[in-house]
Structures are given as structure tokens and as C-alpha cells.
Structure 1
Amino acid sequence: MARQKLSHIFTKIAFKALRTNLFNIVLLAFFLTIGSAKIYSQEINNKSTAIPINKQADSIKIVTTNPIIVDTINVDTIKKKPILEGKIKYKAEKYAKIDQKKKLITLYDKAELYYQDIELKSGIIVFNYEKNEVYAGRIKDSAGVYTQLPSFKQGSNVVEPDSIRFNYKTKKALIWNSRTEQSEFRVKAEISKRVNDSVYFMKGARFTTSKDVDDPEYYFKTNKVKYVPGKKVVTGLTNMVIANVPTPIALPFAFFPMTEESQSGIIIPTFNDTRQRGYSLQNGGYYFALSKNYDLAILGDYFTNGSYALRFESSYAQRYKFRGNVNIRYENLIQSERGFPDYSKTNIYNIQWSHSQDSKSNPNSRFSASVNLGSSRYFQQSINQLNANGNLNNTLNSSISYSKTFNSVPQVNLSLTASHSQNTQTEEINMTLPTLQMSVDRIFPFASGEGLKKGFFKNINFQYNLRGENQIRTTDSLFFKPQMFRDAKAGFQHSIPLSTNFKIFKYFSASTSLNYQEVWYIKTINKSFDSDLNKEVIKDVNGFDAFRTYSFSSSIGTTIYGTFNLGETKKIKAIRHVMRPAISYSQTPSFAKYYDTYAADASGTMIKEYTRFEGGAFGAPGKNRSNNVGISISNTFEAKVTDKDSTKTEPKKVMLLNNLNLSTSYDIAADSLRWAPMRVSAGTQFFNNKMNANFGMTLNPYAINNSGREINTFNIDNGGSLFRMTSANMTLNYSLSSRDGDKNKKKENKQGQRNGGRDDDLFGTNTDFSDRRESQFGNDDDSEEDSFKGFYKAELPWDITLAYQLTYSNTNRENAISGNSLMVSANTDLTPKWKVGASTGYDFVQKGVTFTQLRFERDLLSWRMDFNWTPFGNNAFWGFFIGIKSGVLSDIKWDKRTIPDRVLR
């Protein structure tokens, strides 16, 4: 599959040859005319002597059915080279006329002619076999308007002129007002002259990427064009015309190489005057069309203060197998001048890789990648893009995974994953390189191969799971340095769960399981006290070591249904409540045998316990015995209401609460604080599922002392309420659009999501300075606009995205709102071509406006103009862009912007 990065194609003009086989068509018409001479009477001079006529059988069969005439000449006994290489067909709506005197064959009204891969359609087609010419043109309808323009098609090449004249002997042609599409161009020429199969000349030619070539909003006009199909286009003086007004933009001559495939070329940079780094040339470089399946673009920036940036962008794909893209970015940033106190220099980088595999290519194995890693401050300091989602996001995540299924009995699943998580504020990086997982499908030793598995024994099953990890915790400064690998923690965890499930008293579902785990480490620790250093010393002990644990768990639950009927005449007819209570029990013994002691002071009187498996990849065995009883209740509420549609006979179901969950646990083996805090969570939807509301809180039954420490006394016994609410949170997400239900949905912010942010424009849209042609408001779908007639509709298209977040904290009686913010994004179409949008928010705790972005855009058909403004904050910025949407003319643009102030550190 051919791949071409349109944003990196240098300006070019592409044409296709107007190859034709009309020579053979006219020869056939001429031949048919001569053979049909007996249709017309001839004037013969009187002679004294009668000339005897030898009667012969007519070898030419004349087909009188008018719409389609097919050559039916009998085969000559003398072997000759055939004139035609295929069958010819033609038809006309009104008539197909042969004039022997004028030596003309005329096809009139919806005339069509077919030969091999050539199709010629026109209002009128005339063959003149005396002059060896064929003519095709328009005809007038009853209103005097020209209709049925000629359409010449050969293969995929289509020409639609006003008229065409062709000499089948010299193979030269004249075409008036030809219209054709070549690549992304639409070309119209007043007169086109075909010299031979490989050379064309055009006069008064215009080429544009506008959809309407007869009335384009812009075009390039030139009087002299030499066109060699498949090789090159050479033009004379070429002038750019906008709205039928010539502009000063002109070239004395131009040369454009022609190709059907993507082509390598120079990417013209953009000149800017920055506030901090002087003048700059940005996004210049070279595009390599390496093959049909992959490409490469090398881009760079240079600033007069010495700062520079490099970017490598590549896309690849293979049809029905996989596709992906790779972006590698590096920037060397200098601020101020050497010797000044505010001088700073820093290097930042970012690597993004996205790979997806077609699920049908290999059902038993799958490979995928989503990588976003690099310098923690990249999106905050980058000078090449304004990325609101990446700038406001605090976490970068990556994952590369390969999975394979072995269709054995039992089935075996294997996966290998490398993951990465990076906090951009603390600059802490957590990685697993890699994670190995293998699982063997469940085995039912007491069940037959076929039939249902009922009862305690038939449902007994076990399986085997293996998980291996190599965990790395490091920072930006130590990333991929030797110390990072020395501090890695590796291990393997084996688990064999044995479980079963069964029914009790028909209404209760019970399950029980016994889990065995074994953990292997290749490195443990040893703790001791160094009297010389007078401190505790932890030493790594290399070598294989392992510990083994086991646990038991059981649970029982049921489902209770209740319906409260309020009456058939009521608007709310009934409320249905579904409750699912469950009780679980788990027991884990003490594994104190894996614990050792050491003297923690010089006197040896302070003895501390530790386990050599501390800090391992899979933790350490527990010393304390656990004997927990868990209680949980989940609830859902829905109502039956009268449907607004009077034609509906059944009531409408409306969800009141998607979930209302309560959970807690009681540790029988604990000597104090046996009750765990109760967690309450709820969620529901409003306004036809357009608003999602979620709520959660933590209720602690125990009181705290004056120092804020939890004590073994119930809060109600300490003069308080039954529970002490230690934390609570609420989130509201609302998305509404006037186009709800339509196919035209707002575009997802894919690049923002790839950078680690949201997939919508709640935090603004991303501005990529290397390609400003893409709309900020969605796909350029003009289907509705093209069908628009008359005044604009009164109801303006719009969409709103809203998010509200509230967090309450009361762990140590602070009784404070720790978070309270509202964020909103809105877009609307003021007219069919004007779009306006804004993203902003307010933090009620910090009492300030959050990130704000204003967007304006004007659709100029084949052009696009936008204005993007961040009025205040650390990323204050404005940018104006106007340019051609088409990739082949992407360098024809005007891009003016300011560079946000970047704080280097």
C-alpha cells in the first residue's frame, strides 16, 4: 500500500497523459462508410453500350438497429493484419447518420463510442474520413444552454473539454477548454495541442486544488505549458490569481517532475522572529519517499542564538497486516547569552511510537506498541509545538506488548510486555523491562469432557500462572545509565489457584479457593549495624532465593429484586431495586520463618526484625496472620416512566443509579482497629446519558487523638457520629452537541491522547507548527455545506464539553476542600464557514483561571485560515495561519506566531 506524508510533500504539479486510440476508431468508421456505399443512389452517365453486371453475394451485413452498431464484416480469405484490435460499439439517442457526399458520420444526442479501454461520450460526435479527423462537442438544449460536454476516458485518465478535434493520421489533436484531474490538481486549459503520444502543449492553462475548476477561489495561470506524460511539466511565466484578481506572486518559469508515486523532495522552512532566541528557520528539511510501505521526514529548526532542533518522523503500513508511526524529537535550547546571569542551556527529547496490528492478520498472536517517553519537561519547554494536553498532563505512559496463544489442550497463553510510567513533576520513572506472563487454561479434573459442570466436585478446577518482572525505578538524570540497571529488581512469581463454585439452597452462589504462590528472587538483602560508621548497613546478596505462601478464601452471595409500583396513572409507574449482597472470608497464615533479627545499635540491645526479601519485585511474605471477613453490597435503581412518544405502548426504562456500592472488612486476628474504613461509591447518568456523575467517600468508624493518630475507640464512643468522613470526591462529565445523533461528530484529539492527554479539547487543541493545515474543529466535511441553499439555519451547530471535580479531605480534622475546579470547552459555527471555540476553567481553591485557549477558524474552501490565542499564563501564545489545504501546495502559506516563554532548568 502506497504511503505518502502529505504534510511533507514539496510543491509540485502532477499531470497524466491524455493517451488515446482514436486513430483506430476513425479508421473503423472510415472502413464502415466505404463498405456501406450501396445505401445511397449514384448519378451514372448514359452510355451506348450496356455494361453487363455480374451478380455477386453482398459480403457486408448492415445492422439497421440504431442504438448500437457492431462490426460484422466477414473474414477475408486473404490473411491480412487486422485493422482493429478489439470490438467497437457506438450508439446515439436521436440518430447515427452517414453522409456519403460530405464523407461524414454523425452521432447526435447522448452519443457514445467504446473501443478497448477508451470511452468517448458527447452530445455530438462527427467523423470526417476525408480529412482524417474526428470531432466531439456539446449541443444546446431547448433553453439554449450547452449540455452534454464531451467526456474522454482512457483507463483512469478523464478529460472533459468543451470540444475536441483529432487527426487520426498525424495523431495530433486540439482540445478546447479541457478539464482534467491530475493527482490533487484540477487543470483547465483554453487550448491543448497534442503533438504526439509523449508531448502536449497548453495555452491559457490554469491549475488549482479547488473543487470547482470553472470558478475556483484561486488558481495558477500560465500561457505556455509543455507537458511530457510521466516525466515532467515545464511552464513559462506563472502567476497566482486569487478571487480572479492577479497577485504579485509569480515565477518566470517552473519545472515540475511528474510521478504517480510519492516523491522525495525539500521541505521549505518557515521564517519567524522570536522574542528570546532571535530569528529562526523552522520545520525545514527533506522528505524521503523510501517505498510504498514506509517513508521518512527529517526536519530541523535553527535559531540565531544557537538553539536548534531535529525531528525524525516516519509512517509505515502494510495492508491487512499492520500500520504505525514513529516520531523522534530532540531540541538543544539556549536562553539569553553566555556570560549573562540568566544564561541557561538544556537538552530535551521525546520519543513516540504507535503500532497496531490487524486482528485478522494472525489471530493467535498480536503485537502492539504505544510509546511516549522522554524528558519530563519536554512539552513544557519545546519550541516547536504548543501542546496543551502534554503540557498540563503530569504522567507519560508507554507499553509494548506481544501475546501468543498456543491452541493446545489445555490452551496456553503467553505475553511479553515492556511498560513505562513517568511523572513529569517529580521526574520519577518506573519501568518493567520486561514483564513475562504465562497461563495455562483451567483444568477440571472431575468433570467429563462434555456436558454441564454442576456441583461442588465437577466445578473443581486449577490452573498455572507464571509472572516474571524486571522492575526499574530511576529518575530523568539516571535514565539509561549503568546505575539504573544496577538498581533493577527481578523476580518470578508462580501461582496455582484451586477453586470451585456451587449453589446453596438454590438462591445462593458460593465459591471457594485455595491459592499457592512461590516467588523466586536472584537478589536479596542483608541488614546489619556497622559500628565504625555507626549506622545500619544494607547489603545486596546475589544468588537464588525463594519463599512460598498460601491462602484460603471463600465467598457467598445472592441477588435480591424488589419493585415498588406507584400506579399505572402516574408518570413514574414503578421503581425497581436490584441488590447484590456478598460476604467473603479469607485467611492467610503467618510466615514468620522468613524473618531474621539484627542488632540496630552498637550495644546490641535494640533488636529489629526484617526479611531478606524486602523491596523485592513481588513484595515479601507477611509476618502477621490475617483472618478477614469482607462485606459488600451493590445496588442499582431504575424506573419505569411514561414515554413522551404517545405511540409507544410500553413504558420507558430510565436508570436512576448505575451503582451504589458499600464495602468494608473485619480482621478477626487483629488485636486492634479490626474494622476497615467503609468505602461508599455511586454513579449515575443524566440528560439521556450525556452527563456522567460519580461520587465516592471513605467513612472511618474509629476516632483520632489530639495528634491526629487513629485510636482503638469508636468515633461514636468518643462523642462523635457513627462514622468519621475522612475523604470524599465527586466528578461530573458532561458532553452535549446540537448534532447528537448525526454522523458528523466532533473529531477526537488523537495527537493529544498520544501525548498523554485527553482525547477531547477540554484542555485546548494541539498546535503542531510543522503542519498547520489540519482543522482545529474536526474533519473538513463539506457535505452539508455543499447542499446548503438559502439562509443559514437559526439554530447554530454547537458542542460543549464540561468537567467538574470536587475533593474533600478530613483525615486530621482539617475539614477542607482540597480540590474544586470547573473546566469547559465549547465550539460553535457562527456561519457555515466560520467556527469559534474556547477552552477554559476556574480553580475555586486557588482562586484563579486555569488554562485558557480561544480558537477562530475560517473555511476558505481549498484554503483554511485560523487564529489560535492563549491570552495569559505560562504558555501565553498567539498564532495566525492561512494556507492551502492540499498537501502538494502546503508551502503556500503565511504563518505568523509568537513563541511561548519557556523556563529552562
Structure 2
Amino acid sequence: MAFQKPSHTFTKIHLKALRTNNFKILFALSFTVFINTLSFAQDIPVKGKPIEKSEKDIVIVSTDSISKPEVSEKEQDSIIKDSIKPKKELLEHIVKYHATDYTKFSQKDQRLYLYNDARIDYGDMNITAGSIVVDYYKNTVYAKGITDSIEGYIQKPVLTQGSNVVEPDSLIFNTETKKALIFNSKTEQGEGTVIASITKKENDSVYFLKDAKYTTAENLDDPEYYIKLRKAKIVPGKKIVTGLANLFIYDVPTPLGLPFGFFPQSEKQTSGVLIPSFGEQNDRGYFLQNFGYYFAINDYLNLAVLGDYYTNGSYGMRMESTYVKRYKFRGNVGFRYENLITSERGFPDYARSTIYNLRWSHSQDSKANPNARFSASVNLGSSTYYRNSINQINTGAFLNNTLSSSVSYSQTFQGEPQVNYSVTATHSQNTNTETINMTLPTFQGSVGRMYPFASKTGSKKGLIQNINLQYNIRGENRIQTTDSLFFKKEMFDDAKAGFQHTIPLSTNFKVFKHFSVSANTSYNEVWTFKTINRYYDNVNRETVTEDVNGFDSFRTYNFSTSIGTTIYGMFNFEKEGKDPKIQKIRHVMRPSISYNINPAFDQYYDSYEVISADGLTTSEVEYSRFEQGVFGTPSKNFSSSMGISVANNFEAKVKDKDSTATEPKKIILLNNLNFSTSYNFAGDSLQWSPVRMSGGTQLFKNKLSINFGATLDPYALDSNNNRIDKFNIDNGGSLFRLTSANLTASWSLSSKQADKKDDKRDPGIDENVRSGGRDDDLFGVSQDFANQQLNRDKDKDGDEEPSELYNFKIPWTLRVAYAVNYSNSRRQNEISSHSLMFSGDIQLSDKWSVGASSGYDLKNAGFTYTQLRFERDLLSWRMNFSWIPFSTRASWNFFIGIKSNILKDLKYEKRSQPDIQL
């Protein structure tokens, strides 16, 4: 590259008076005339014989009156095919330059001077600096800053070429060779910055450095750490290759170093080795954890394969994959397997077990297909996986007692009527009893609601026009098994399958203007492929139940109706001359009465006789051959019952504290207060069912949520604490007998500073949710700090400058959950459970934060699972400490490492893990 000299119009010409010399002038003019007389131009070649052309071939080139000499085509070709190639243009791009103070060109020095906010643009290269000097004789560009008496050295050069930016103190650039010497440069390479005293730019894609520093620190003038590179080669956007390199912390050298190093700088994800964590466990010896390889398969899919190994023979394997396609779907899948060995072979406490866990989450973008949707949420495996896992990532989920999964596909066919269907596979697993219930699969289909008597135009009115019906079908293949038979062929031996068809017919209308009436009837048909046959074995003196394979079915129907209304009440406390704080209380009450009738379908019931040893019939037992079916059995008894319910809502209008407000402020006193009971007309005793009361409210700007409930039984108990057909008030008691009650409250408190912070959920809580745990930290969070190095500083509000004064505003959050249950169904009069859980975080400073989660069992007088957390933000580093002080999982975990992903393997981690209880 070379710079073209500016036009002479930019040259400053200074004129001054000269003394004339007539003799010399006359001599020069005579010599000029003599030279012009003897000089001649190139001879005009002899014309060749012109080529004859027809009038059609003649092309008029010019209409100038002065005729031009004809040139034969043959001689024109000889000039074009000249062996001397034309000289290449001096510049390939347009050169643009600018300076605020002055732009000066010196013909004597052949230099262009640009001063103050100087700028040169040439192709994809741009140089800005305080001062730029272009030397046309040496083909060099010299850029440097300028010195200000107040601010010092300012307007340092910035060299930009493509996406590569270099910020040195000064630089020299050769426009022909495109090489450069850069002094005291700062260059961003990926997530880090390279600070070099001398940099040699070989070409557009190679830099050589000497005595350089590589760091991810934000303060480049005084970085808290850096890796010193004695010699290095940089290929921007691809790699950094170094010779001897070691770690410095605040300019203090450490023994951590390598004879050579390689830093990938690709802007795209790349495959690579995952560095493990080293440590020692109490009963498994030394270990390597999280060692593996990351496969960057493509822009839509990745895979991480990890493993753990313990010197006593225990090992673990994990595979984690994430996939995403924009506007289509996204998801992640993971499989974990651990082979755990306790003690040594030959010892009495030797034990060996294998545990595994499979997780899959898939969600479809709503824009992908509005009429079809596929989703998955899978969490299944060994019931003891979260309790016995040796990996710290499962710390926040070991209290889970339920694992559940669901994979579903649904589709809608638009039209009149609309048709829908879905296929779902579900899984529910109790980790305490190790019982597993699955449906493989569940099929559901429906035909949209149809109004056969409605008018084609206008709204539907009246009893007849509102008659509607629809069709629903549900099919299930239900499996119940245990951990020991999971994924074995035996788990399918007791599978149950069946279909249920339902056709509901309903209508609704109004009576007396204010009452809404609805009437419903439903036809139900159940198909099953396995029934039972039961009889009494006189030889073995026992009841025998046999499975009968084959198609069978039963049909039922019922009828129900209800009437309800809404009553509004207003209590006005406003009076003339008074302005009370509580101005009005609004009460909304929704009473409802329903009636249900279910016929008896005793034709589907059989009986067998129990015969005593002397051959006499002692009893006759009825049973239904559909007892073990998927959708239950038809009702044997006739039922005619009435249901009564009342729903209440209370709101208040209070005087607003804001004096400028024109309307009173509305607050909710009770979100709901509901009462319900029923009366069975067909029953011969205990016709009234207990009254169920439930309610809830939210206080203090929805920060305190309270829910409560109680069961009130109108019947008394006998001496054996059994219900009798006698009202409790007639037995000398109260109108109702309190049989159970419950109260739950959750309170979330935070300072105003914490409210202003960005509400982003901790990644440890996200891991809890994926594992089937709580969406808070009341049971603790994951301790896998090495894989959760997130640069949260980027999430902070950068507009607020830190103050050098003492910060008395300490952000904090506190979450409290309280639960109590009371039982008195058989005069036990006891608190069945009573617990208090709490968790909180305190940000002592911008860099220090402390968190804890614990609880107290008020009934058994003991602390529940407790976890203490400490976190220190060390600018480019992060330090975490987690401590579980007691319980069977008592342990601690210390971690310190660099936040940046490119150097996240530069870390130190120490763990004290608990002994695994098998």
C-alpha cells in the first residue's frame, strides 16, 4: 500500500521579491528555443492499405469538422499486444485524511503532517491519533498521541483493520510491506486483552509480541492478574501461541506456568478438553471429577462427555447436550450414571451399587406450528440417585421425594367442529417407596362443542339454543412397577389398558333475570381388555382372583344441575364532615346449589359364596369384574345428592397516602373465603358431608401470602372414636367438630435496593427445578461452582458509579415459609406437622454476599437441612464457599477461579464430602 502525494493545490507557496537578471533571462530563452527547434516527436507510421468496408460496417465516431488520421486495425492490435504491461495503479483504494488543527505537506521532506484528531482511512484500515506523519519517501506512517498540559498524553493511536483493533502508545506502519511496529499496545482478543511492550505486525493476520501480558481484567492499567508471555504469536480471531508463560497476581510472579501455551480465540464454539477437579473423599480416596471432552458439533447442537474416577474403584459418567433451532425448538438432555463402591472387598461393610438419572427438556416455539405442539419434561432414574450421588451438582435436590416426567404431542384440526388429539407418556416415581406409575401412552381425542339448535346468526338465547354436546375419548396403557423391575420386560406383565368414551350434553339459561341455571347429562362407556374372576377356594380356604383376558365394556350415565347467582354488598363508612381512612368495604358473594343423580349399575356386579369348613355358606361377597380396570368400576349404589357452596371475596377502599390522588386506593382483604358441603338424599345415615372451609389472602403489597383451611364435621363420635349417625350438638357438643385444619404462609421481604436489582434467578435454582426440586433456595442450591462461573458484573447497572464513602445501604432478601397442620378426626387433638423454613441473602458490600437456607421442625424440635453460602467477587475472579454444618450430608466446598470462559480451568477447588449412607 502507498499513499499518493496530495495535489499541488494543497501546497503552500510562499512568494518573495526576486532581483532580475536580464542577461541570464535572455540566455535561458535562447537555449529553450534552440532545444525546441532540434527536438522532434515519434514518427508517424506509414499508413497501410485500408481494409475495404461496406457502408453497413462504417461507424461514425465523431462529427468534428477536423478530420482525424485513419489508423489501420492491424496496427492498433500491435499496440494493444505490447510486451510491456501497463504499470499498476499506485493506490487500490481512495485515501481519506482529516485533522482538526492543520494538514500540512512538506515538499522538501516529502511528508504529510496531520495534527489533533488526525484520521486516515484506506480500504479496511483506519488510523486515528493525535498526530500522524506520512513519509512518502520511506512509505511509512508514524502515529502517536499528543501531550496536554493538564491531561498529559492524550489521543493515543488506534489502528483498526477489519475486526481487529489495536490501541498502542505509538506505531510505525509501512505502506508497501504492510508491516508495522507497535509500542505499548492493548489488543482485545476474544474475552481477554493482550498488553504488549513491542508488537510486530507481520501482515493482516499475524502479530509477533515480546514481553506481553494476557488478562481478562477490566482495569488494564493495573490488572489484578495476568499471564506473562515472553514471546507470542497472535493470529487474530483464531489463536495465541506462546513460549514460556506463567501467572502473575498484581505483578507478583507465581510458580504456576507452562513452557508453552495455546489460547484458542475462535469467535465460534470449538471442541476441547474439559479440565478436571482434583481432591480426596473420606471413604473413596483421591479422585478426578468432571474430566471430559466438549464436542461443538455445529451451531445448533453440542455435547459434553464428563467422568469421575475414585481410587477405590468408584466412577461416574455424565453426558450433557443442548440443542436449539431458532423459531423452531430448544432443549437439553442429560444422562448420569454412577458406580459406587464403599469400603474394600472382603470387609463386612463392603457394598456396591449403581445409580442413574435421565433428564430431558424440550420446548417448541409457538411460531413453529400453531396447530401442532411437541413438548417433553423427563426426570427419571434410580430412586436413590439424588440421595447417594457423589456429584456436588445434586446438593439442592437430594430432598426430592418425587420424580415425574411427561412427553406429549398434540395437534388441532381447524374447522367446524374443531378436532383435537394428543398422545402423552407420563411417569411418576416415589423415591421413598420406590413405586413407579407410568402411562405408555395416554391418547386423548375430542370433537369440539356443537350447538345443533343454535341460530346461524346472532347470539344463542334460551334453553334450547344453548344445548351443546361434544365427544371425548381417552385411552391409557397403565403400568405400575418398582425400581428393581424398571426397564425390564417384567414391568409390562401387569399392564392395564382401556378406553373411555364420554359424550356430555349440557345447556344453560337464566331465570328471574339474576339466576343462572345449568343442566348437564353425560353418557360414559368404558372398554377394557382385561377383567377378573373371583371365587372362594374351599380346599385352600382362600379367595382366588383370576385374570380374564378379552374385550369387555360397561356403560353409565348421570345427570346434574345447578343454580347460582352473584350478590354484591357495600359497607359505606363515609359520613358528612368525616373522612375515615377506610371508606368502603365491598363484599361479593356467589352462592350455588347443585343437584346430582347417579343411578345404580348393579348389573355389572357378581358375587361368590364363602363356605365354612362344615359346608355352610357364611357370607356372600359382591364384586365387579372391572375392579382392576384403568377407569374404575361403575357405581353400585344409587346416589341422589345436593351440593351447597358459597364463595366470598372482600375488598376495601382506603384513603390514599398520596394527597394528589383523586380516587381511593383499593386493597384486597380476602382473595377467597369458600364454604362447601353436600347432602345425600339416597343415604340411610350420615347424609351430611363435612363442611370444608378454605381461604387465602395477600398482604403487604403481595409480599405475604396466607392460605388456610379447615374441615368441620357435624356428626359425633362414639366411644371407639367412630362417626355415628348423630349430630354433635345433640351429643352435648358444639354445632361442628373441628377434624382438621391447616395454615401455610410465605413471606418474601427485601430492601429497596434489592428490589431495584435485576431479578434474575440463580443458576443453582434452575438446576433444582430441572431436577424436580423447589424453585427457591429453601432446601439449598447446587454447589457445582466450577460450571457456574457467570460474569454477573455485566448484569449490574453500569450507570451508578461506586462511591468512595461508606455504603450504608445493604441490599438483603429474606424468604420465610411457615406450615402447620392440625388433626382431630379421631380425638387425637394433635399437631401433625409444624415447620418453619427460611432463606436469605445479604450483600455486605459490592463484592461480598452471604446467604443461608435452613428450617426448624417445631414439632420434633430440630433444625432441618441447613446450608450456608459465602461469595466474594474478586473482579476477574470469583470465590465461593458452601458449608453444610450438620446432617448426614455435612460437608464444605471451597472454590476460587477466573470468571472468563476462556480461562475457567484456571481454578482451585477443595471439597470435604460426606460419607455416603447406603
Q: 1:658 aligns with which of 664, 671, 687?
A: 671
User: Which amino acid is 1:458 matched to?
Assistant: Q
Q: Which residue in 2 is equivalent to 1:173?
A: 180
Cα distance, 1:856 vs structure 2: 0.8
Please tell me the residue identity of whatever aligns with 1:619: G
Matched-pair contact (CA < 8 Å) for 1:37–1:100: no
1:31 equivalenced with 2:45 (yes/no): no
Residues 631-672 of structure 1, C-alpha deviation per residue, up to 9 Å, x if partnerless?
111111111111111111211111110100001111111111
Q: Find the aligned partners of 2:760 and 2:218 in 1 and give their Cα distance.
A: 24
| 1:577 matched residue in structure 2 | 587
User: Cα deviations across residues 48-81 of structure 1 (Å, max 9, x unaligned)?
Assistant: 2235899xxxxxxxxxxxxxxxxxxxxxx99976
Match of 1:553 in 2: 560
Offset at 1:41? 6.1
**CA deviation after TM superposition for structure 1 residue 85, in Å:** 4.7
Match of 2:832 in 1: 818
Q: Tell me the amino acid that sits aligned with residue 753 of structure 1.
A: V
The structure-2 alpha-carbon separation of the partners of 1:888 and 1:328, relative to structure 1 and needing over 3 Å to count, comes to same
- Shift of residue 35 of structure 1? 5.8
Q: What displacement does 1:819 show?
A: 0.7
The one-letter amino acid paired with 1:49 is A
Q: Which of 723, 727, 744 matches 1:714?
A: 727
Query: SS where residue 389 of structure 1 aligns?
Result: helix
**How far apart in 2 are the matches of 1:772 and 1:714?**
62
Counterpart of 1:463 in structure 2 is 470
TM-score, normalised on structure 1? 0.90
Contact 1:522 1:545 in 2 (8 A): yes
Q: Which residue of 1 aligns with 2:600?
A: 590
Map 1:144-543 → 2, pairs under 5 A: 144-229=151-236, 232-256=239-263, 259-385=266-392, 387-543=394-550
2:896 matches 1:889 = no
3-state SS of paired residue (2:554): strand
Please give the per-residue CA displacement for 1:284-311, whole angstroms capped at 9, x wherever unaligned. 1122222221111111111111111111
Partners of 1:380 and 1:700 lie apart in 2 by 41
**Map of 2:610 onto structure 1:** 600
Aligned-partner Cα distance in 1 for 2:13–2:352: 95
Following the alignment from structure 2 to structure 1, what is the Cα–Cα distance between the partners of residues 183 and 189? 18
Distance 1:132 1:85, change over 3 A: closer
**Aligned-pair distance for 1:582?**
0.7
By how many angstroms is 1:741 displaced? 4.3
Structure 1 residue 341: Cα displacement: 1.9
* Structure 1 counterpart of 2:580, one-letter code: K
- Give the secondary structure class of the aligned counterpart of 2:6: helix
SS of equivalent residue, structure 1 residue 750: helix
Q: 1:206 to 1:672 in 2, by over 3 A?
A: same
**Aligned with 1:765 (options 772, 781, 791):** 781
Matched residues in 2 for 1:200 and 1:114: separation? 21
Q: 1:428 to 1:486 in 2, by over 3 A?
A: same
- Letter aligned with residue 587 of structure 1: I
Distance in 1 (alpha carbons) for counterparts of 2:228 and 2:590: 75
| Counterpart code for 1:900 | P
Residue matched to 1:4: none
Cα distance in 2 for residues equivalent to 1:470 and 1:779: 51
The whole-number CA distance in structure 1 between the counterparts of 2:320 and 2:832 is 42
How many residues end up aligned between the 2 structures? 853
Q: Secondary structure of 2:756's match? A: coil
| Alpha-carbon shift at residue 849 of structure 1 (Å) | 0.7
Alignment map for 1:682-761 (pairs within 5 Å) = 682-738=695-751, 739=753, 741-745=755-759, 747-748=761-762, 749-761=765-777
Stretch deviating more after TM superposition (515-524 or 381-390): 381-390
1:388–1:397 Cα change, 3 Å: same
1:690-714 residue CA offsets vs partner (Å, 9 max, x unmatched): 0000000111111122222211111
Decide which moves more: 457-466 or 84-93: 84-93
Identify the range of structure 1 (440-449 vs 680-689) with the bigger mean alpha-carbon deviation: 440-449
> Is the CA contact (8 Å cut-off) linking 1:40 and 1:100 kept in structure 2?
no
Structure 2: how far apart are the matches of 1:450 and 1:793?
Answer: 69
Q: Which residue of 2 aligns with 1:679?
A: 692
Quote the residue 2:658 is aligned against. Answer: 645
> Contact between 1:792 and 1:832, CA under 8 Å: does it hold in 2?
no
Counterpart residue identity of residue 6, structure 2: T
Distance apart, 1:882 and its partner CA? 0.6
What CA distance in whole angstroms lies between the structure 2 residues aligned with 1:743 and 1:505? Answer: 55
User: Is the Cα–Cα contact under 8 Å of residues 206 and 234 in structure 2 kept in the other structure?
Assistant: yes
Q: CA contact under 8 A between 1:92 and 1:111: conserved in structure 2?
A: yes
Instruction: Tell me how far 1:564 sits from its aligned partner.
Output: 0.6
2:893 to 857, 879, 901: 879
Cα 1:482–1:98, aligned 2, differ >3 Å: closer, same or farther?
same
Change in 2 beyond 3 A, CA 1:98/1:637: same
Shift of 1:229: 4.6
Partner of 1:752: helix, strand, or coil?
Answer: helix
Distance in 1 (alpha carbons) for counterparts of 2:408 and 2:456: 34
Q: Which residue of 1 aligns with 2:41?
A: none
- Residue 782 (structure 1) shift: 3.8
The Cα offsets for residues 746-778 of structure 1, whole Å up to 9 and x where unpaired, read as 525111111111111111121126625359xx7
- 1:12-31 Cα distance to aligned partner (Å, 9 max, x none): xxxxxxxxxxx2xxx3xx32
Q: Which amino acid aligns with 2:779?
A: F
- Equivalents in 2 of 1:896, 1:632: separation in Å? 60
Q: Distance in 2 between matches of 1:734 and 1:260?
A: 45
Shift of 1:779: 7.6
1:853 aligns with 2:863: no
How far, CA to CA, are the matches of 1:601 and 1:751 in structure 2? 60
- Give deviations 1:322-343, integer Å, cap 9, x for gaps: 1111111111111112222222
* Shift, 1:389, TM fit: 3.5
Q: CA RMSD in A?
A: 2.4
Deviations 1:429-475 (A, max 9, x none): 11111111112211111223442222222211111111111111111
Deviations 1:717-756 (A, max 9, x none): 1111111111100000011111464242252511111111
1:144 and 1:876, CA in 2 relative to 1: closer, same or farther beyond 3 A? closer
Partner of 2:810: 796
CA contact (8 A) 1:512 1:554 kept: yes
**Structure whose alpha-carbon radius of gyration is higher:** 2
Q: Distance in 2 between matches of 1:622 and 1:254?
A: 78
Counterpart residue identity of residue 630, structure 1: G
| Range moving further from structure 2, 467-476 or 654-663 | 467-476
1:124, distance to aligned residue in structure 2 (A): 2.6
Match of 1:108 among 110, 115, 122: 115
Q: Alpha-carbon deviations, 1:237-272, whole Å to 9, x = none? A: 112111221111122222445533222222222221
TM-score by length of 2: 0.89
Q: Percent identity?
A: 57
Distance (Å, rounded) in 2 between the aligned partners of 1:240 and 1:843: 50
Q: Tell which deviates more after alignment, 221-230 or 239-248.
A: 221-230
Distance 1:688 1:231 in 2: 53
1:136 correspondence with 2:150: no
- Mapped to 1, the partners of 2:851 and 2:803 lie a distance apart of 25
